[in-house]
């Protein structure tokens, strides 16, 4: 397997305020053509340390990709450092200069002299044009290694990489082909899950299985390698089928979709519509549903009813019910779901009411107690959960439980 290395350049990436997401995206792309990422470096805008990082990378990796530091300012040193390490001169590329000038002119700006710097290209390198920004990328070969310099912003470097670099990587990756599956599981505890599936996946060294625990779900990643796509796909499918057979409806996707995407597709297919009534999640369920493009096909709307009064006046939850049973109760959750369903005209109403903490818990209703409710034209029901974690996590897990209730009732 070819070995790749990524250098993320930018002093902001060494602060607590920005993280290097470029390398995650690039790694996914590189892996997809069978290239292994064996080292990543984050380096500030410092010439000596960058030089160090670039030299080391070139001493051990077949493919070296950097992001950032291609802009017009003094601290944008990437071109300069790579040119020096590879023993090339930086030459002004007039075609690139013209492109940058035109880009400025088309927006009614005059190009400032420092922007000329972006037209400096190491001798013998290929320029990768950038329709989404002014800094072009650079591609070059050095001692049989491939070097790619990409601009920092993801919206600039991603299309550039897919257009100019991926075809070349596919060609040089020596025929290693990968197939991947991402199984997502909700509603099963970590250790219970591993008990069920470890005897299955440990039988296979190919695909490689990785298990990731997220805030409210478990993801099982399978990566199969072979010298042909079809064989890699076969291997991935074989193990996927065995895992799904074991886990049944706890698996909601084998291709990595979000829970809200899976639910959305199911509702659309059944021509059903959904409305939400939320208390402790403050609109998070509605927010998650509407992350999915096209959710207007099935999502009618939602109400955030935080106070008891709002639950009564906006959703018609009887005052006496709230007083007698408390706002965090199964009956109130169901009444909220019925209320929003009726008022919105949706086929299904779902609701969440709970104590997200850190304050507000009692012996009877401790922090983490959440009721999710569901109502359609036939029934209404609720589920009680006692969720662990801090306020953020409890709210997130509660929103997942509400979504999961829809999946369990209609989609499995």
Q: Return residues touching Mg ion (CB under 5 A).
A: 10, 68
Nearer Cβ to ligand AMP, position 64 or 275? 64
Segment interacting with ligand AMP, rule: CB under 6 A, options 88-96, 119-127, 149-157, 395-403: 149-157
Question: To which residue do tokens 């935080």 refer?
Answer: 306
Q: How far is the CB of 135 from ligand AMP (least distance, A)?
A: 6
Binding mask 2-41 for ligand AMP (x = CB under 6 A): ------x-x-xx------xxx-------------------
Q: What is the rounded distance in angstroms from the CA atom of residue 275 to the CA atom of residue 54?
A: 54
Give me the least distance between CB of 151 and ligand AMP, in Å please. Answer: 5
Member of 122, 136, 152, 339 binding ligand AMP (CB under 6 A): 152
Contacts 24+ apart (CB under 8 A), 227-235: 227/175, 227/176, 227/177, 228/177, 229/177, 229/179, 231/177, 232/177, 232/178, 232/179, 233/179, 235/179, 235/204, 235/206, 235/207
Counts for the chain of helices (H) and strands (E), in that order? 14, 17
Identity of the residue, 70 or 284, whose beta carbon is nearer to ligand AMP in the bound complex: 70
The nearest distance, CB 274 to ligand AMP, in angstroms, is 35
Q: Provide the minimum distance between the beta carbon of 12 and Mg ion in the complex, in angstroms, as a whole number.
A: 7
Ranked by CB distance to ligand AMP, the top (closest) residue is 152
* Nearer to Mg ion among residue 78 and residue 209 (C-beta): 78
Q: Does the protein bind ligand AMP through residue 153 (CB under 6 A)?
A: yes
What minimum distance in Å lies between the beta carbon of 386 and Mg ion?
46
Q: How far is the CB of 254 from ligand AMP (least distance, A)?
A: 29
Q: Which does 22 bind (CB under 5 to 8 A by kind): Mg ion, ligand AMP, none?
A: ligand AMP
In whole angstroms, how close is the CB of 264 to ligand AMP at the nearest point?
A: 29
- Measured from the CB atom, the residue of 34 and 133 that comes closer to Mg ion is 133
Query: Residue 233 and residue 79: Cα distance in Å, rounded?
Result: 40
Cβ–Cβ < 8 Å for 100, 115: yes
- Of 45 and 99, the one with the shorter C-beta distance to ligand AMP is 45
Closest to Mg ion by CB, 10 vs 264, is: 10
Helix intervals (H) in 290-361 = 308-315, 319-325, 330-344
Q: How far is the CB of 10 from ligand AMP (least distance, A)?
A: 5
Task: Please state whether 357 falls in left (phi above 0), alpha (psi between -120 and 50) or beta.
Answer: left
Integer Cα distance of 231 and 175 in angstroms: 12
DSSP of 99-128? HHHHHHHHTT-PPPGGGGGGGEEETTPEEE
How many angstroms separate the CA atoms of 344 and 58, rounded?
Answer: 61
Q: What is the DSSP code string of 204-239?
A: -SSSEEEEEE-SS-EEEEEEEEESSHHHHHHHHHHH
Coil/strand/helix, residue 369? strand
Q: What is the DSSP letter of 296?
A: G
- Tokens 């299904």, located at residue: 348
Nearer to ligand AMP, 147 or 300 (CB): 147
Residues 281-310 as x/- pattern, contact with ligand AMP by CB under 6 A: ------------------------------
Q: Which does 368 bind (CB under 5 to 8 A by kind): Mg ion, ligand AMP, none?
A: none
Partners of residue 354 on adjacent β-strands: 370
String of contacts with ligand AMP for each residue 53-72, x by CB under 6 A = --------------xxxxx-
Phi, psi of 34 (to 5 degrees): 80, 25
Closest distance of CB 72 from ligand AMP, Å: 9
Q: Interface residues with ligand AMP (CB under 6 A)?
A: 8, 10, 12-13, 20-22, 67-71, 151-154
């Amino acid at each position: 397997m070819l070995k790749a290395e990524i250098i993320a350049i930018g002093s902001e990436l060494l602060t607590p305020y920005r993280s290097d997401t470029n390398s995650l995206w690039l790694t996914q792309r590189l892996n997809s053509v069978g290239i292994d990422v064996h080292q990543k470096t984050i380096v500030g805008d410092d010439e000596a340390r960058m030089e160090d990082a670039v030299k080391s990378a070139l001493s051990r990796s077949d493919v070296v990709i950097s992001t950032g530091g291609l802009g017009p300012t003094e601290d944008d040193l990437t071109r300069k450092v790579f040119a020096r390490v590879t023993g090339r001169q930086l030459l002004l590329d007039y075609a690139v200069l013209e492109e940058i000038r035109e880009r400025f002119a088309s927006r009614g700006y005059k190009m400032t002299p420092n922007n000329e710097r972006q037209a400096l290209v190491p001798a013998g390198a290929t320029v990768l044009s950038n329709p989404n920004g002014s800094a072009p990328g650079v591609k070059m070969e050095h001692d049989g290694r491939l070097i790619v310099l990409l601009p920092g912003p993801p919206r600039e470097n991603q299309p550039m990489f897919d257009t100019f670099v991926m075809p070349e990587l596919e060609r040089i990756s020596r025929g290693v082909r990968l197939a991947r599956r991402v199984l997502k599981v909700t509603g099963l505890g970590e250790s219970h899950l591993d008990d069920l599936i470890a005897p299955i996946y440990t039988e296979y060294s190919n695909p490689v299985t990785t298990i990731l625990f997220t805030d409210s779900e478990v993801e099982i990643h399978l990566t199969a390698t072979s010298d042909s796509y079809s064989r890699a796909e076969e291997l991935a499918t074989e193990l996927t089928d065995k895992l799904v057979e074991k886990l049944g409806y706890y698996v909601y996707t084998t291709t990595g979709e979000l829970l809200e995407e899976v639910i959305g597709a199911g509702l659309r297919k059944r021509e059903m519509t959904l409305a939400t009534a939320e208390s402790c999640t403050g609109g998070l369920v509605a927010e998650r549903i509407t992350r999915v493009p096209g959710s207007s096909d099935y999502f009618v709307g939602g109400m955030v009813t935080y106070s008891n009064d709002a639950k009564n006046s906006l959703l018609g939850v009887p005052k006496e019910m709230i007083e007698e049973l408390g706002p965090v109760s199964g009956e109130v959750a169901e009444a909220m779901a019925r209320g929003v369903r009726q008022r919105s005209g949706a086929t299904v109403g779902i609701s969440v009411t709970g104590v997200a903490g850190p304050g507000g818990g009692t012996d009877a209703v401790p922090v983490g107690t959440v009721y999710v409710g569901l109502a359609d034209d036939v029934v209404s029901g609720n589920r009680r959960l006692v969720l662990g974690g801090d306020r953020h996590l409890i709210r997130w897990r509660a929103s997942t439980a509400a979504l999961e209730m829809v999946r369990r009732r209609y989609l499995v």
